[in-house]
């Protein structure tokens, strides 16, 4: 009985942690619909951030602040930066 309870708790924890990681990819895909050149560096300081050192830039902090309790982004609260003129 004890092993079953431990296995269930471990499975639920893995699902919760895994879904949090997928949420960031969902947000990136959603943003790519608005800006085709979007990549990790659009929201993060590093080009390829590590999970434990994923510092956000100003735009990333704005996006994080627009996140609802259900994990969805209210894009009307986010001002999408315009690319510099070439």
Contacts for 18-27 with beta carbons within 8 Å, 24 or more apart?
21/51, 23/71, 27/63, 27/73
pLDDT in tens, the chain (86 residues): 677 777 666 665 554 444 344 447 788 888 888 888 888 888 888 888 887 788 999 998 999 899 888 888 898 888 877 766 65
pTM recorded for the entire structure: 0.61
């Amino acid at each position: 009985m004890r092993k079953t309870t431990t296995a269930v708790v471990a499975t639920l924890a893995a699902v919760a942690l895994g879904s949090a990681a997928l949420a960031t990819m969902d947000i990136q895909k959603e943003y790519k619909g608005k800006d085709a050149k979007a990549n990790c560096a659009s929201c993060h300081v590093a080009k390829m951030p590590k999970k434990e050192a994923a510092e956000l830039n100003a735009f990333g902090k704005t996006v994080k602040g627009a996140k609802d309790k259900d994990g969805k982004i209210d894009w009307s609260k986010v001002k999408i930066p315009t690319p510099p003129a070439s």
